[in-house]
Chain A
């Protein structure tokens, strides 16, 4: 019998040379007459071990990593296909604590299956949720989603059931499902991993959403820098059409849902839902005012469910295992799990899916293993470039939407970027403001002019030019941006900026009271 060998096709593995590893393994096996079945799986999410090569054994899959192409002959020499001892042998993958200690609901399949294999998907519970949903009315589907407690995973944490209900209640001749896959926050990659590692999951989630509101068309607005995700999605969509999971008569139900991938315009702002809709309509990616909400007047002015990848990818689990199962995870009003993404100056970067409630410190140290540089972690930016910088004193904050709001921070999309004690937080504040200036769509005044002025003001503070007055001006500017901006870009950039000032005043040359 052939031995299954797994080499991930995930971007993180590919960027570390997985392609040449796979090629070398194939060549070596052929040269040595070893029969193997090389499978290109998704990533297990342990980025520091990529390329993580796995070999299936009767006891389970054994991991080797990080493997480079030049390691491959040695691995074969050492009896790699029998999972014999080797310095890169990490033992059973499932027993690696980083992996073992997670609660993988949404990512249950990612890294394990061949992402574009429909049998792999259906053999592991795939499309069970859809089958269940097909038995329900739109209202019943929405009720289950509401009961699950699922909130939008894009960052705003809006209750998904209410959003769907709004789109359901809006009368229209045409409705749409749009997936926001324009994942652009620094330090985030969970959307990409699920699209590359389990694309059918997103298709299934979107199809269930379409059943809920009677939408016949869906679009995945995909970040332009995600070519591997695009390939995986398109392959999976083609298969789903062939097998009747998409199209005019979904699994003989008479229901219609057509789905296509649209490549994004390459602007961060197009990840904002209304700018995304403008861009999807072929226009300049510019923010629309609300109301009307996209659920009422979204794509081409029609009611539209617009959800993040992880939100939609969470749906099949809810319909496979019931809303109660999902709701039983988490804390407070944050139900279910969140795939946290560990990045920055950490020993063990990667993806950690955990129920809400784990603390920041646990993520940083138990999973992340502390800083990569070995120096103390001084600050962590949580929730992408618009999220606050948290100091060590806040590391015990539980990962929960409300707990984060209480410390004037954001959980956002669950990305963590860690910095050690060499970081200059004034530079980081400037970086945040500059990011806003670079990415502003230019529609509203506070963001368009304010972000550029913000950089200038921070520069003056750093240069100690009229520092006290400029710190006051920075606060006033942040107030105008926070309260006056049209969307979350200008409206949230004060979070990182002011958190840096608040927690690290010394980096700005000022005392804690701002003087």
Chain B
């Protein structure tokens, strides 16, 4: 079922420079060349009956309802598959057409249950609509003929049902799975009257290759594929357009609601980042918003051994303010700080850092980008002049060579991965650099990387230098481009640097483990282009040389001329929905919004004037510094908005010790997360469905989120921060987040042209958005780089200190999977756990055999930082010597074993390289035992819980 507010032009809009005019029912209409007659008729305002056609899928021509008459043509062509031609005269209605359409409907209904009144699609069923449109009054075939009315329902998927008895075999689901999602999980099995939709090889949906993106459910015109939420709750009656709160793709969604209950989330066809597509998380995993674990009342306590006490908002805010004042009076102005949330809106993030700078009077603010894409900000700013990706997602449709480095798009950025796969099906070639065989390495029937650079974790910089070496020494660099657009002397110095024998593929092979010939092949392909685009993820940044690698990629793209147009660029696939925005909004201890350094007096002055306070010119504490300061006793109070670093940051035990040493930890969140177990104040936050604001996705696209339902706990997150600031004595007064955005625009040149009204009208804008780019900037660095000349920086490879030893002979690297999101606080509270109940350790068969590890058995993974126990999966996805796991479940404690090593420039932790040993065990680790005990204890301290033993 399509969104209840969707319009449907029947066939896709065609992009063509040429327009043609034709006549439909006497009405003149002009459409792009290549448009269908159906599209033209719809544009002319003439609805043609249809079932198999829908405008996000290529025409198919199977239902035969959309037949029309065209002057000078024989018969009754299907309007969906007939291209509109100049001067055509089309009739969409005639007595003959009416007979034929009624005849077709009569056939459909002769094999369809007549249970409309009790059918979940009732009210939004296209088959029902068409029966009405064509005026079907009787089914002369009767209902005793051959039929599918007794086919069994498949309810295996947690989110939707498949009821083949209602299927009209229009293939919209099959085509959506192919064209939109690119998974090819569905097919039509058998033929003739027996034709039927089959997931995989006639399997239940859950056992098939289905990734539950929901494209098929959205495409289904009947109740054959139907959300279980609609089956249970009935049809939604209102719709609110908003933006997904999961990953950095930033899919636009329509929240469909009944009363104050969200019935379902449907991807918005007008969404600029997703074009009507979704993944299992955004589409279905919103059940956490109403999960009973949500904490809905403010709570306080003196120590973490105490029971939580529910209090009023006033008391909670007042208590927090007085604690922070007390701490600052006792330990100094710098003894408190805050963490902004990459899950919250730009406006909320902006307010938190404003409060820190204006009310706390220091710069102790940081954000989770510290632990993910801070090297991106540093590296791209240094080389190009902007701390963000260079392209829009749509740019990939112009790429000839796609180079993925340290990213797993089909799991972590699935909607963009689908677009990428579409481009690959069109013929673009793919290079992947990853220690692990991600799905894009080979996914039948259409996806196969031409080169898999399966490098050893931690050797990215050696690899990129090796690639550059081939391109430079084989004369494939674009000297004309680089000399014109970049500093020529620096460029020459870089060429000399990468040409050194130590970076030849043969010299790099023993370091990276990638065969020299593979490096050469990939380099040649990348240089040949003509449009080569780099997409990368945390496999680039979360290393001791994360920033160096970002610079290395920028160097490579500049040297090959792959910057400043469609189809090229260096593109970070950012993790969180608003991590780009959190960075943009001045969440860093050294930067104000728009990446302006706090030490810059002129910038400070601008803010001081607007805010009416004096700002500290010294950068504040970064997250790891905060923990260190907490341990040495100089950092005592912390306001944490929507962030769970106890689970997400490295070396858990170090963080736990730091938090135990603090006096007032304020956690503002939906759930009692891992960090909240160490907190003294809990302020219940709001979900993305409960507030207004904006998110900025990985392509710098600013999009609105709109309040679908009121905040369940009473306040939107920005209101809480505002209240706290007021209680601290620094006045803030906003009636709506749009006013905060207006302030951001006043203070931030790259946001100067952004306001809610414009976002509402245009759907989205990509920053920079200002007078010279009033509708935003999809592609950066056209004509010249933002910093002026592109800046080549030499990227010496320095091996990480984290080395394998006889005690820790394996390297652990971490990642994520499709169904779970980050620390899992949300997705673990949805049916998504059906796909991923626990974190699993992937280990190569050689390493497994050597250690007596069998598939499915418990293993201990120990590093110098700690030890955890989890289940092993013996898999050839991972190379020998490397093991892999995820960090979605807190009771796994993956970050207990990751270390304090970090990027030299930004302190981004080296999550991707930890030396470990794996051994078969039969019980949990000491930390895990302790964790369970502590969690039980903390949960028992919640109001309304009976304390065990009493």
* Interface, chain A (partner B; CB < 8 A): 267, 269, 284, 286, 289-291, 437-453, 456-457, 469, 473, 476-477, 479-480, 483-486
B195 within 8 Å of A (CB atoms): yes
Closest to A480 in B: B103
CB distance from A264 to the nearest CB of B (A): 14
Contact with B194, one of A269, A442, A445 (Cβ below 8 angstroms): A442
Majority SS of interface residues in chain B?
loop
A483 adjacent to B193 (CB under 8 Å): no
B100 adjacent to A483 (CB under 8 Å): yes
Residues on the A chain within 8 Å of B78, using CB: 289, 486
Given contacts A446-B104, A453-B107, contact A440 B192 (CB under 8 A): yes
Residues on the A chain within 8 Å of B60, using CB: 289, 443
Residues on the B chain within 8 Å of A290, using CB: 81
CB distance from B440 to the nearest CB of A (A): 22
B185 within 8 Å of A (CB atoms): no
B193 adjacent to A443 (CB under 8 Å): no
Residues on the A chain within 8 Å of B103, using CB: 446, 476-477, 479-480, 484
Residues on the A chain within 8 Å of B761, using CB: none
Residues on the B chain within 8 Å of A289, using CB: 59-61, 78, 81
A449 adjacent to B191 (CB under 8 Å): no
Closest to B145 in A: A456
Given contacts A441-B191, A484-B100, contact A449 B107 (CB under 8 A): yes
A442 adjacent to B67 (CB under 8 Å): no
A269 adjacent to B191 (CB under 8 Å): yes
Residues on the B chain within 8 Å of A485, using CB: 64
CB distance from B178 to the nearest CB of A (A): 11
Contact with A484, one of B59, B104, B141, B192 (Cβ below 8 angstroms): B104
CB distance from B169 to the nearest CB of A (A): 7
In the complex, 29 of the A-B residue pairs with CB atoms within 8 angstroms, ordered by the A residue number, are A284-B188, A289-B81, A437-B193, A442-B169, A442-B190, A442-B192, A443-B171, A443-B195, A444-B61, A445-B107, A446-B64, A446-B104, A446-B107, A448-B169, A448-B192, A448-B193, A449-B107, A449-B193, A453-B107, A476-B99, A479-B100, A480-B100, A480-B104, A483-B67, A483-B96, A484-B100, A484-B103, A486-B62, A486-B64
B192 adjacent to A451 (CB under 8 Å): yes
Residues on the A chain within 8 Å of B187, using CB: 284
Contact with B141, one of A269, A286, A456 (Cβ below 8 angstroms): A456
Closest to A485 in B: B64
B146 within 8 Å of A (CB atoms): yes
Residues on the A chain within 8 Å of B108, using CB: 445, 449
Residues on the B chain within 8 Å of A449, using CB: 107-108, 110-111, 193
Residues on the A chain within 8 Å of B192, using CB: 437-442, 447-448, 451-452
B475 within 8 Å of A (CB atoms): no
CB distance from B518 to the nearest CB of A (A): 28
Contact with B83, one of A291, A447, A453 (Cβ below 8 angstroms): A291
CB distance from B73 to the nearest CB of A (A): 12
B63 within 8 Å of A (CB atoms): yes
Known: A289-B59, A445-B108, A448-B195. 16 other contacts (CB 8 A): A291-B81, A291-B83, A437-B192, A439-B192, A440-B191, A440-B192, A441-B191, A442-B191, A445-B64, A448-B169, A448-B193, A450-B107, A453-B110, A480-B103, A486-B62, A486-B78
Closest to B96 in A: A483
Within 8 A of A (CB), among B164-187: 168-169, 171, 187
**Binary CB contact string for chain B from 470 to 504 against chain A (1 if under 8 A, 0 otherwise):** 00000000000000000000000000000000000
Residues on the B chain within 8 Å of A453, using CB: 107, 110, 141, 145
CB distance from A495 to the nearest CB of B (A): 15
A469 adjacent to B195 (CB under 8 Å): no
**Binary CB contact string for chain B from 115 to 141 against chain A (1 if under 8 A, 0 otherwise):** 000000000000000000000000011
B934 within 8 Å of A (CB atoms): no
Across the A-B interface, give the 6 residue pairs with the lowest CB-CB distance, nearest first. A442-B195, A480-B103, A289-B61, A440-B192, A289-B81, A449-B107
Residues on the B chain within 8 Å of A286, using CB: 188
Most central of A438, A446, A484 by chain B CB within 10 Å? A484
Count of A-B contacts with CB under 8 A?
109
Contact with B140, one of A444, A448, A473 (Cβ below 8 angstroms): A473
Residues on the B chain within 8 Å of A476, using CB: 99, 103
Closest to A441 in B: B191
Residues on the B chain within 8 Å of A441, using CB: 191-192, 195
Distance between Cα atoms of A371 and B843 in the complex (Å): 76
Residues on the A chain within 8 Å of B76, using CB: 483-484
Distance between Cα atoms of A483 and B188 in the complex (Å): 25
Distance between Cα atoms of A291 and B169 in the complex (Å): 22
Residues on the A chain within 8 Å of B195, using CB: 441-443, 448
Given contacts A449-B108, A480-B107, A483-B76, contact A442 B193 (CB under 8 A): yes
A484 adjacent to B191 (CB under 8 Å): no
A473 adjacent to B141 (CB under 8 Å): yes
B75 within 8 Å of A (CB atoms): yes
Closest to B193 in A: A452
Closest to A439 in B: B192
Within 8 A of A (CB), among B25-82: 59-65, 67, 75-76, 78, 81-82
Distance between Cα atoms of A290 and B74 in the complex (Å): 14
Residues on the B chain within 8 Å of A291, using CB: 81-83
CB distance from A471 to the nearest CB of B (A): 12
A456 adjacent to B146 (CB under 8 Å): yes
B64 adjacent to A484 (CB under 8 Å): yes
CB distance from B935 to the nearest CB of A (A): 52
Distance between Cα atoms of A457 and B64 in the complex (Å): 21
Given contacts A453-B145, A456-B146, contact A444 B188 (CB under 8 A): no
Residues on the A chain within 8 Å of B171, using CB: 443
Residues on the B chain within 8 Å of A438, using CB: 192
CB distance from B846 to the nearest CB of A (A): 36
Distance between Cα atoms of A443 and B193 in the complex (Å): 9
Given contacts A446-B107, A483-B67, A484-B104, contact A267 B61 (CB under 8 A): no
Within 8 A of A (CB), among B75-98: 75-76, 78, 81-83, 96
CB distance from B259 to the nearest CB of A (A): 39
Most central of B59, B96, B107 by chain A CB within 10 Å? B107
Distance between Cα atoms of A484 and B77 in the complex (Å): 8
Contact with A267, one of B63, B191, B193 (Cβ below 8 angstroms): B191
Distance between Cα atoms of A286 and B710 in the complex (Å): 51
CB distance from A338 to the nearest CB of B (A): 25
Distance between Cα atoms of A457 and B140 in the complex (Å): 10
Contact with A443, one of B62, B96, B168 (Cβ below 8 angstroms): B62
Residues on the B chain within 8 Å of A469, using CB: 140
Residues on the B chain within 8 Å of A479, using CB: 99-100, 103
Most central of B75, B103, B140, B195 by chain A CB within 10 Å? B103
Distance between Cα atoms of A255 and B63 in the complex (Å): 45
Distance between Cα atoms of A479 and B106 in the complex (Å): 13
B140 adjacent to A484 (CB under 8 Å): no
Distance between Cα atoms of A486 and B62 in the complex (Å): 7
Distance between Cα atoms of A457 and B139 in the complex (Å): 13
Residues on the B chain within 8 Å of A477, using CB: 103, 107
CB distance from B946 to the nearest CB of A (A): 61
Most central of A443, A452, A477 by chain B CB within 10 Å? A443
CB distance from A266 to the nearest CB of B (A): 11
Residues on the A chain within 8 Å of B83, using CB: 291
Closest to B146 in A: A452
Distance between Cα atoms of A480 and B140 in the complex (Å): 14
Most central of A290, A441, A442, A447 by chain B CB within 10 Å? A442
CB distance from A278 to the nearest CB of B (A): 12
Distance between Cα atoms of A217 and B64 in the complex (Å): 35
Residues on the B chain within 8 Å of A456, using CB: 141, 145-146
Most central of A447, A450, A453, A477 by chain B CB within 10 Å? A453
Distance between Cα atoms of A457 and B171 in the complex (Å): 27
Distance between Cα atoms of A345 and B421 in the complex (Å): 57
Closest to A440 in B: B192
CB distance from B22 to the nearest CB of A (A): 16
Most central of B59, B140, B146, B187 by chain A CB within 10 Å? B140
